């Protein structure tokens, strides 16, 4: 211990930059010098650079299972079998050794290294979390939250924000199909909510469709209210407005039964990917953007198309799960879903290659069959969550 403490600061920083994210808690609580070093801007930047280099060889993702959030290592390059290895449960620190892991989570959203976690309480609660620092902030509602609310995490040049969407129909005796449409915006800087005005869309977003945050803005799969047309819609956190309808790269229409699957993911920090699977043909397509902005999306050539019937698989992605990611170097797509039988529910990863080859990895039994396995990419962030006084 004394020898380690006497090492030059640069050498200590080099050593600590290789410490796994889930082990930083032990490092910080060893001594004040190490705690201070782990929060030094130059050290943080080095940690982030190392994490990005590592992502080129080994994916590290945030995985939500059984209402807890885990940092998980993904190895798709194994000569034996692909593996998904939990590296630890992410926890809250806030400089207090008595703080504990965040659990009871029903949904998780990622943006810029921050996580927005929604608890599965009756009326839900929100907590913003930087796993790198272990910092959290619980967000109080302007009035109240609802289990069907949808959320997005984004930022402008100076400030991170949360968008809360409620667009549902509720049954009332005098108005059987009265529409409740609310859009609220929370500012980290002011610690307050405000109503987003002049929003009365002729489209809607199902509560189970998670938005995808990219470059500070959030994109959703949306459906025309009185038609069968679907498209992307983006909320720009700088202008605090929704942009125009953005085209999808396939001829999808909104099925009356909503069994077709459309879900979004990111490729690196600059590209958006979309997965579409037809309920009728079971053909699965994945496309990647060549350009993505709040007012314009251009799609590259089709990244992958798999005829699930032809390869003899009964796999069909579930609409309100729909997590997936792409390894462009290996031309591989990994889709996360669940397998249900009469006795239990198991998390599954389906790995598709360019030749249509399918590998299936059993991730273990799920304790709660009503909550889906969710996965999103993650790289440590230097964003500090200012603590409220």
Q: What is the pLDDT of residue 62?
A: 85
Q: What is the pLDDT of residue 172?
A: 42
> Mean per-residue pLDDT for 56-71?
78
Condensed to tens digits (0 to 9), the pLDDT of residues 177-191 reads: 566 678 899 999 999
Domains of the chain: 1-56 (1.20.1280), 57-377 (2.120.10.30)
> Mean per-residue pLDDT for 42-46?
70
Q: What is the pLDDT of residue 92?
A: 57
> Mean per-residue pLDDT for 266-276?
88
Quote the mean pLDDT of the chain: 77
> Mean per-residue pLDDT for 306-335?
73
135 or 276: which carries more pLDDT confidence? 276
Is the pLDDT confidence value at 93 over 80?
Answer: no
Q: What is the pLDDT of residue 1?
A: 47
110 or 308: which carries more pLDDT confidence? 110
Query: pLDDT band for position 160 (50/70/90)?
Result: very high
Between 93-97, 244-248, 355-359, the lowest mean confidence (pLDDT) is in 93-97
39 or 129: which carries more pLDDT confidence? 129
255 or 372: which carries more pLDDT confidence? 372
Q: What is the pLDDT of residue 161?
A: 95
Is the pLDDT confidence value at 364 over 60?
Answer: yes
Q: What is the pLDDT of residue 188?
A: 92
Q: What is the pLDDT of residue 173?
A: 42
Highest mean pLDDT among 126-140, 147-161, 213-227, 284-298: 284-298
The whole-angstrom separation of Cα 220 and Cα 209 is 7
Query: In whole angstroms, what separates CA 206 from the centre of its chain?
Result: 16
Query: pLDDT band for position 95 (50/70/90)?
Result: very low
Q: What is the pLDDT of residue 340?
A: 62
Query: pLDDT band for position 213 (50/70/90)?
Result: very high
213 or 90: which carries more pLDDT confidence? 213
Is the pLDDT confidence value at 331 over 60?
Answer: yes
Identify the residue whose tokens are 């699977």. 277
105 or 234: which carries more pLDDT confidence? 234
Strand partners, 260: none
pLDDT > 70: what percent of the chain? 68
Q: What is the pLDDT of residue 244?
A: 94
Query: pLDDT band for position 205 (50/70/90)?
Result: confident
Residue 225: both structure tokens together: 């209210």
Query: pLDDT band for position 359 (50/70/90)?
Result: confident
pLDDT > 90: what percent of the chain? 18
Query: pLDDT band for position 13 (50/70/90)?
Result: low
């Amino acid at each position: 211990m004394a020898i380690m403490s006497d090492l030059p600061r640069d050498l200590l920083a080099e050593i600590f930059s290789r410490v796994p994210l889930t082990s930083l808690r032990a490092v910080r609580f060893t001594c004040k010098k190490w705690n201070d070093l782990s929060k030094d801007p130059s050290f943080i930047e080095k940690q982030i650079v190392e994490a990005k280099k590592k992502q080129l060889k080994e994916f590290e993702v945030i995985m939500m299972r059984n209402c807890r959030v885990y940092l998980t290592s993904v190895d798709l390059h194994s000569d034996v079998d692909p593996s998904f290895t939990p590296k630890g449960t992410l926890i809250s620190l806030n400089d207090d050794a008595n703080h504990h892991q965040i659990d009871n989570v029903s949904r998780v959203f990622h943006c810029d290294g921050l996580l927005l976690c929604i608890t599965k309480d009756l009326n839900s609660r929100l907590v913003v979390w930087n796993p790198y620092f272990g910092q959290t902030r619980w967000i109080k509602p302007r009035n109240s939250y609802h289990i069907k609310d949808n959320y997005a995490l984004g930022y402008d040049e100076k400030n991170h924000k949360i968008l809360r969407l409620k667009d549902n129909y509720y049954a009332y005796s005098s108005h059987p199909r009265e529409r409740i449409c609310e859009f609220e915006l929370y500012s980290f800087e002011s610690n307050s909510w405000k109503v987003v005005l002049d929003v009365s869309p002729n489209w809607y977003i199902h509560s189970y469709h998670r938005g995808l945050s990219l470059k500070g803005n959030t994109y959703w799969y949306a459906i025309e209210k009185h038609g069968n047309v679907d498209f992307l819609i983006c909320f720009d956190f700088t202008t605090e407005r929704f942009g125009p309808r953005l085209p999808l790269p396939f001829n999808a229409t909104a099925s009356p039964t909503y069994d077709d699957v459309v879900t979004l993911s990111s490729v690196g920090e600059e590209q958006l990917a979309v997965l579409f699977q037809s309920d009728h043909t079971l053909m699965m397509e994945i496309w990647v953007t060549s350009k993505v902005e709040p007012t314009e999306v251009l799609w590259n050539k089709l990244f992958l198309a798999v005829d699930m019937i032809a390869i003899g698989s009964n796999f069909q992605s579930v609409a309100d799960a729909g997590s997936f990611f792409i390894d462009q170097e290996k031309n591989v797509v990994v889709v996360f879903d669940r397998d249900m039988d009469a006795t239990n529910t198991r998390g599954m990863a389906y790995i598709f290659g360019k030749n249509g080859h399918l590998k299936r990895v059993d991730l273990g039994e799920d304790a709660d069959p009503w909550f889906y396995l969710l996965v999103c990419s993650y790289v440590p962030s230097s964003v500090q969550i200012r603590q409220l006084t």
